[in-house]
A = this chain, B = another copy of it.
Amino acid sequence: MPAAPTAAPLHEVPISLGDRSYPIHIGAALLSDPATWAAVPPSTQALIVTNSTVAPLYAARLEQALEARHKAVHIVALPDGEEHKNWQTLNLIFDALLENACDRRTVLYALGGGVVGDMTGFAAASYMRGVPFVQVPTTLLAQVDSSVGGKTAINHPVGKNMIGAFYQPRLVVCDLDTLATLPAREFSAGLAEIIKYGPISDMALLDWLEAHIDRLMGRETALVAHAVRRSCEIKAWVVGQDEREAGLRAILNFGHTFGHAIEAGLGYGQWLHGEAVGCGMVMALHLSRRLGFVDAPFVERVTALLRKAGLPTVGPALGASRYLELMRVDKKAEGGEIKFVVIDRPGSAAVRGAPDALVREVIEHCCRPE
């Protein structure tokens, strides 16, 4: 018998959540190998949810690999972009499921970035009150963050991810080959979320990233694999402690309170999510410094790394009042008080309130007038 092409994952990271546990597979050439999908629950039908950019690149490859697993594999390609992460687009998934009379064993595959993953996950959580789904993230950001942990959502005009569910996938497959086609700006946006794991929980990772940022920017597979693995391990540990964000999990939102305000204030899709989070991290670091938790050299160190990763580190000048207004509808806010994820010492994060005046100073310091 001729040797079959092997696509054993380079790394496997388990997510331990009792009967909702699942593995993350990280490696090359995973997508087109039927063996990758052997653990997916059997079903007659499957629906690949992707977007108009990713579909021509990878949908046929996945479709072919899935034909061994499902009798009928349907594809729906959503319009690409954060600005389409809404009801109208979500309904395209439900329409595709119902047009094909998909039953409640049907498996959904999210093939794309964070927007595709979040919408497919929420559709899977809601279709017939829950069908199985698999994350197949094709962007660096989705591989290290949004595809792991079961947060799914769509946006509302006044706030990001306001409508969604905690709903775990059955499997996450990070095929590093799909990063080859990722635009530079999106690769950098993914690096922002990887860098995030340093200040909040792992200074060794921050050291490693500083030492290897040039080779990472060159997309060397072994280095990208390590960065993805380590990010997933940290996220897996946090999510395993606090699946539904009652406490600890909120630290993963470092940079997100300011970041969401940037995205909503400019209109979704102007800045990439990772870009907004990277810049939001700079702002949250300055807030941490003003609260007395970290010193200026630490702020500068992380800022420099973000800059080397090709990320913007100066925020848009929306005005401090507009920032505050946008942040007050953040999901972490309670009784009108904005909650920030701050670095309380290098490698450790905490959720804190802060006086408006201090937040205003940070915004004015970190944002450049147009």
| A180 close to B (CB within 8 Å) | no
Q: Which residues of B contact A161 (CB under 8 A)?
A: 129
A333/B103 contact (C-beta < 8 A), A127-B163, A162-B127, A165-B130 known: yes
Q: Does A166 contact B (CB under 8 A)?
A: yes
Q: In the complex, what's the smallest C-beta–C-beta distance from A328 to chain B, in angstroms?
A: 6
Task: Give the contacts of A113-135 with B (CB-CB under 8 A).
Answer: 122, 125-130
Contact (Cβ within 8 A) B164 A44: no
- Residue-wise, chain A 137-172 has the 8 Å CB interface mask toward B (1 for contact) of 000000000000001110010110111111000000
What's the Cα separation between A164 and B131 when bound, in Å? 11
Please indicate the chain B residues that have their CB under 8 angstroms from the CB of A101 in the complex: 328-329, 333, 336
The CA-CA distance from A98 to B333 in the complex, in Å, is 12
Nearest Cβ in chain B — how far from A358, in angstroms?
A: 21
Which residues of chain B are near A130, meaning CB under 8 Å? 165-166, 244
Let me know if A208 is at the binding interface, CB within 8 A.
Answer: no
B156-A98 in contact (CB<8A): yes
Q: How far is the CA of A164 from the CA of B335 in the complex (A)?
A: 28
Interchain CA distance A362-B165 in the complex, whole Å: 41
Which single residue of chain B is at the shortest CB-CB distance from A154? B126
Is A230's CB within 8 Å of the partner chain B? Answer: no
A328 / chain B contacts, CB cutoff of 8 Å:
101
Complex: how many Å from CA A87 to CA B94? Answer: 12
Report whether A165 and B129 are in contact in the complex, using a CB–CB cutoff of 8 Å: yes
A335: contacting residue among B44, B151, B333, CB under 8 A? B44
| A53 at interface by CB-CB < 8 Å | no
Return the chain B residue nearest A44 by Cβ. B335
Interface pair B127/A334, CB less than 8 Å apart? no
A360 close to chain B: CB less than 8 A:
no
Establish whether residues A94 and B156, one from each chain, have CB atoms under 8 Å apart when the complex forms: yes
Asked whether B103 lies within 8 Å of A159 as measured between CB atoms, the reply is: no
Point out the residues of chain B lying under 8 angstroms from A21, CB to CB.
Answer: none
Residues of B within 8 A of A122 (CB): 126
Q: What residue in chain B is nearest A329 (Cβ atoms)?
A: B101
Say yes or no: is A321 at the interface (Cβ < 8 Å to chain B). Answer: no
- The answer to whether B103 touches A129 (Cβ under 8 A) is no
Give chain B residues whose Cβ lies under 8 Å from the Cβ of A244.
Answer: 129-130
The interface centre, meaning the residue of A126, A151, A164, A166 with most chain B CB atoms within 10 A of its CB, is A126
B87 touches A162 (CB 8 A): no
Interface check A104, CB cutoff 8 A: yes
Given contacts A105-B334, A331-B104, contact A162 B98 (CB under 8 A): yes
